[in-house]
Amino acid sequence: MTEMALTPEQLQAMIEMSGTINMEVFYWWCTGLMVIIHAGFLAYEMGASRLKNALASGVKNILAFAFIIPTFFFFGWWIYLAMYGGFIPDFEAGAGGVPWLSAMGPNIMDNGTGIFWGAFVLFAATTASIFSGAVIERIRMSSFIILAIVLGSGVWILGASWGWHGDGWLTTKWGFHDFGAAGCVHMVAGFFALGVIINLGPRIGRFAADGTPIVIKGHSAPMSIIGLMLIIVGFFGFLGGCIIYNTGAQWTTIFGTPTTLSAVSFNTLMAFSGGIIGAYFITRQPFWMMSGALAGIFSAAPGLDLYYPPLAFLLGIIGGVVTPLADKFITSKFKLDDAVGAFSVHGVGGLIGVVSLGIFSGYPNVNGPDVSFFGQLASAGVMAALGFIPGYVLSLIMAKFGVLRVPPKAEIAGLDLVEVPLEAYPEAVPASKPDNSGTGAAVTA
């Protein structure tokens, strides 16, 4: 028996390796759950599209996910590691994300890089999907892909490096705290979408000649509503990915402050509930109730590790009430067509969240000043600008070159017919040209 006994060093090594593998397992399943976010966005966007655009919206959403993955490998992860100080990169810190070096591939001695890269890819793809919904039914696919790459593999991850990183300058200088990425994910994506829809313009028929908004109904409200619920399911993976697993020690936030999954459980569910109730109170309809659920979570996301749960519930209610009103406001006042309310749900919801933690705070930080109202407000301004400016400028350039939007005749005909060699519901309502070929096959462009 004595020959079988482990030395303290061997025991220590076993415990450490067990912890390392548990860490990998935890983030692996967080990443898997986050894929459900994209199943949700896919259903949500296709349902919100008219029948003639259902598949084109699906293709667009799927491509956003697909293009984010390689481009985030090419340069996104490097941005996160290197750009935490502002616009001047730290090449030494960024070396772990250089795509042709030894950390960026199967490496027996590195259990961390790939699994964290994977989780961040899913965060990145979430930003692109947030933007995707706002521009359905009239944006050109190629322009959309470029904009999605800029947002998902460039802009948001720069915001994450600044404000969702232990050494990010927003935290070390202003005490910014944002547990659930309301700033770098939701605000940046929402404000990016706002910048683009200003230049993209509304769908044909969205406003009457006198400017009165006309509701364009999607072809399947139930599909959209179920999609929104799937996004919520996936958000449990997203929020799991926001917490740091430390072998043999308490969980910490990405900012190094101690926390627990229990804390996040309390507040996520309470804010989710508040968002639904708030949106129901103000709209009485399920599309906004489920969008309100998301807005509720974002409205409490920065402090999911800190709030007294009924406060998270109340913040959720505020998010659920304010976001449909914000969407109505930008539609009626500025004649903007955000097809799914992405700006109001993510941009405004995230803004409420970031600023609210400034009101209900005073918490100490590990690597910077205490969390404060000024720090949260100023950081919210940075996140809004970081999203809006690139989205607006890039889409303006695309619009000037005439490559941002599909031709009006194609928009009226429907993008499935024009671009997609497949029909959504071939036995229901025809979306293809009449078949004169005699083969029985649908004729598509």
Partner 1 sequence: MASPITTWEGAEAVFTFADKPAVVFGIFVLSVIVTVGVIISTYKHENHSYIDYQE
Catalog residues that contact partner 1 under the rule CB under 8 A: 67, 70-71, 74, 99-100, 102-103, 105-110, 140-142, 145-146, 403, 406-410, 413, 418-419, 445
307 Cβ neighbours under 8 A, 6+ residues apart: 267, 300, 315, 360
Using CB atoms within 10 Å of the CB of residue 211, give its burial: 0 to 12 exposed, 13 to 18 middle, 19+ buried: exposed
- Of 89 and 99, nearer to partner 1 (C-beta) is 99
Query: Which amino acid is residue 337, in one-letter code?
Result: D
3-state secondary structure of 244: strand
Q: Residue 92 CB, nearest distance to partner 1 (Å)?
A: 19
- Of 141 and 229, nearer to partner 1 (C-beta) is 141
Q: Residue 105 CB, nearest distance to partner 1 (Å)?
A: 4
Q: Residue 83 CB, nearest distance to partner 1 (Å)?
A: 20
- Of 316 and 414, nearer to partner 1 (C-beta) is 414
Cα atoms found within 13 Å of the Cα of residue 392, Cβ hemisphere only: 12
- Of 107 and 332, nearer to partner 1 (C-beta) is 107
Q: Residue 103 CB, nearest distance to partner 1 (Å)?
A: 8
Nearest 10 degrees: Cα torsion 51, 145, 295, 312: 150
Q: Residue 174 CB, nearest distance to partner 1 (Å)?
A: 36
- Of 428 and 443, nearer to partner 1 (C-beta) is 443
Contact criterion met (CB below 8 Å) for 58 and 149: no
Q: Residue 101 CB, nearest distance to partner 1 (Å)?
A: 9
Name beta bridge partners: 244.
252
In angstroms, how far is the first alpha carbon of the chain from the final one?
76
- Of 108 and 215, nearer to partner 1 (C-beta) is 108
Query: Which amino acid is residue 231, in one-letter code?
Result: I
Q: Is 203 left (phi over 0), alpha (psi -120 to 50) or beta?
A: beta
Query: What distance lies between CA 315 and its chain's CA centroid?
Result: 20
